[in-house]
Chains A and B, each alone.
Chain A
């Protein structure tokens, strides 16, 4: 069974700093790896999806990388802003019919 771990559980950074969020998974036979953002009391917003054949995806200030062999993915956020404060979730899709989620990293960007 796929296990997804996210470290750190919480992170506070000053505005403008670059940061990296980490995600690791135990089963490397994944179809894709996805990063989501969840605001308090809200649903999930998909940020980036990396197919298993890809190494990275970029969207604006966000860059996600995938290393299947080591079972790791990172989400890089450049020039962080207070509006980036949220919980970031990674999720992997394997051959099963569902996504396996990590417990998330709660990010606070301090103005």
Chain B
């Protein structure tokens, strides 16, 4: 059983471009969580999704950020019109129910 997979592992974008981060949960896991780790800061919750539903997006910035977890395929975290302050490591976690979360290796986004 492969762990949580995230791709790309590293992503470079110029200001104003779009960033798409993908997360494939562990097999059998229907709960996905996204966290952001800014340089020299702790991980901060962004959004919690179940299949086709956003359950809690209280940590998502109000603009430019969106997330989805379709019936088929990976969860996507989308950042439109990226700015330098979006540079961070973005981690995805999954769980079979609302219990222990298993983390992926993260996507490191660099905005030039």
Contacts and interface: CB of A to CB of B under 8 A. Distances in A.
Contacts, number: 52
Contacts of B1: none
Most interface-central of B43, B44, B104, B108 (chain A CB within 10 A): B43
B56 A44 contact: no
Interface in B50-83: 55-56, 58-59
28 contacts: A34-B100, A36-B103, A41-B108, A42-B105, A42-B106, A43-B103, A43-B104, A43-B105, A44-B43, A44-B103, A46-B103, A91-B43, A96-B45, A96-B56, A97-B33, A97-B45, A97-B48, A98-B33, A98-B35, A98-B45, A98-B48, A98-B56, A98-B59, A99-B43, A99-B45, A101-B43, A102-B42, A103-B41
Given A96-B45, A99-B43, 12 more contacts: A42-B105, A43-B91, A43-B106, A44-B43, A44-B91, A97-B55, A98-B56, A99-B33, A99-B35, A99-B101, A101-B42, A102-B42
